[in-house]
Amino acid sequence: MIHVVAYDRRAAERDAIRSSLWKKIERLPEEDMEFREAENSSELLSALEERNDPDLLYYEFLKGQTVTELRSLRKRCENALLMLIADAAVSPLEYLKPGIAPDSLLLRPYTKEMLSEINGEFVQTHLDRAEEDDGEKFMVETKSGKVFISYSKIFYFEARDKKLFVRTADEEYPFYGTIDALGATLPAGFRRCHRSYIINVGKISRVAYADNEIEMGDGIFVPVSRRYKKEFREIG
């Protein structure tokens, strides 16, 4: 369960954040979302009384307001990731103060696509941190020694040239084994999409059925075969 508190005076924006965020979270295996919202300080305090330690905290910062409330929230919710919502016209000098340090920024105006991308990065940061705490990593033996890769950083595994390859955003590591045996050992967030590929479902940006491919973000595409297309209908 990912616990979210969103403080935003605009109801339509809260709805957009909730919808965009859920589209990211619903793809994750065994995850759900608890979303509490507030349009004023009183409702924010009530939401935090119900959930004092949210995982994700959205906070709207207005031009000219003091940082007293925000600094207090930072202390109260010290483990929460903070996304600050502000107009682009608001100077960063107003909110980039000691003791605040937002983890992400949502600057108006923005598009639906921008909101989706920012929320995706926000959720991924939470998952990366949670995984570091859990210590779940995939180990690859290389010539230089063992490499440990957080599962949340893996885009896909590929069977090629009688080897297996694990792909992250910037690196590719070869190792030996079979893709069938590998699939039986991976966490629930990994799914077969092709006889030669197992992908991280949490990395999917979209599924292009007409082109028989899956866009994974960072310019990474993998094929999806006819056999597995049906399994991805709910995602694409």
Predicted structure pTM score: 0.62
144 vs 3: which has the higher pLDDT: 3
> What would the two tokens of residue 135 be?
């210590």
170 vs 222: which has the higher pLDDT: 222
Please give the C-alpha separations between residue 202 and each of 105, 134, 154, 193, 205, in angstroms, as whole numbers: 22, 17, 10, 14, 9
Q: Please say if the pLDDT value at position 134 is more than 60.
A: no
Q: Using alpha carbons, select from 5, 80, 18, 13 the residue that is nearest to residue 45.
A: 5
Please tell me whether residue 123 adopts helix, strand or coil conformation: helix
Q: Please say if the pLDDT value at position 25 is more than 60.
A: yes
Whole-angstrom distance, CA of residue 41 vs CA of residue 54: 16
Options 3.40.50.2300, 2.170.120.30, 3.30.70.1880, 1.20.1270.360; CATH of 2-133: 3.40.50.2300
**Consecutive H or E run containing 68:** helix 68-76
Q: Please say if the pLDDT value at position 90 is more than 70.
A: yes
Please state which CATH number belongs to domain 137-232.
2.40.50.1020
Question: Using alpha carbons only, how large is the chain's radius of gyration in Å?
Answer: 20
Q: Using alpha carbons, select from 120, 129, 174 the residue that is nearest to residue 150.
A: 129
Domain edges within the chain: 2-133, 137-232
Q: Please say if the pLDDT value at position 236 is more than 60.
A: no
> What would the two tokens of residue 132 be?
């570091």
Residues in the chain: 236
> What would the two tokens of residue 76 be?
């109260």
pLDDT tens, residue by residue, 164-183: 999 998 889 999 999 999 99
- Look up residue 126 and give its amino acid: H
Between CA 142 and CA 153, with CA 148 as vertex, the angle to 5 degrees is 115
Query: Is 137-232 the same fold as 2-133?
Result: no
